[in-house]
A and B are shown apart, each in its own frame.
Chain A
Amino acid sequence: GNSVTQMEGPVTLSEEAFLTINCTYTATGYPSLFWYVQYPGEGLQLLLKATKADDKGSNKGFEATYRKETTSFHLEKGSVQVSDSAVYFCALSDLYGNDYKLSFGAGTTVTVRA
């Protein structure tokens, strides 16, 4: 079946540091890949997505490239801010029967210190 494995946290960084969160997936079909972010006390929000191989998703300074050859979708940001402190979830969407469903990684907690 499909699964998502992401880097365990927590991750603690200083402001302006470079952030990478690794994510790899296993899928039988051709999934779409997502990164969601959950700020404290809020619901999950879509951060970025990529729907096919070699696509790059980007938003708010974050980027991730869909790498089919390595089955990876690593999240990167060149210079983090305190406001980037959150839990980040990697996910894939694939067709199960007649419907698309999301499979999530365990989440990575990121804390950025001023």
Chain B
Amino acid sequence: GAVVSQHPSWVICKSGTSVKIECRSLDFQATTMFWYRQFPKQSLMLMATSNEGSKATYEQGVEKDKFLINHASLTLSTLTVTSAHPEDSSFYICSARVTSGTYNEQFFGPGTRLTVL
């Protein structure tokens, strides 16, 4: 199956700093990638849809200036958490979508654990 990687797998940062998380589709091209956030023992919450070459579409309640998304190529999307605060600590998961005719499936990365001190 298609492989999606995330880097880093975990990161600890100080409050007020910015953190960039990369999501790569390793063996396929993805015009659409998704960013999710997962709190302990809770479901994945969609944060935004990232479209190659255009602006991301953010879900209601997600601050676009806080969570900057860039999808500059068909294999890479980045999420930058700007001026991070402890409440931004979470597990961030990306996925990349493969679409071919009526076939439509998302492949998920392993996630990035962010801890803000």
Interface of A toward B, CB cutoff 8 Å: 4, 36, 41-46, 89, 93, 99-107
Contact = CB atoms under 8 A, between A and B. Distances in A.
A103 B42 CA distance: 12
B26 to A, nearest CB: 12
Contacts, number: 43
What is the interface of chain A mostly: helix, strand, loop, or mixed? strand
Interface residues of B, number: 22
B110 A105 contact: no
Contacts of A102: 34, 44, 46, 106
Contact of B49 (A4, A93, A101, A107): A101
Given A105-B43, A107-B43, A100 B110 contact: no
Contacts of B63: none
Interface of B: 1, 4, 6, 32, 34, 41-44, 46, 49, 57, 93, 95, 104-111
Contacts of B6: 43
A43 B93 contact: yes
Given A43-B111, A101-B46, A106 B4 contact: no
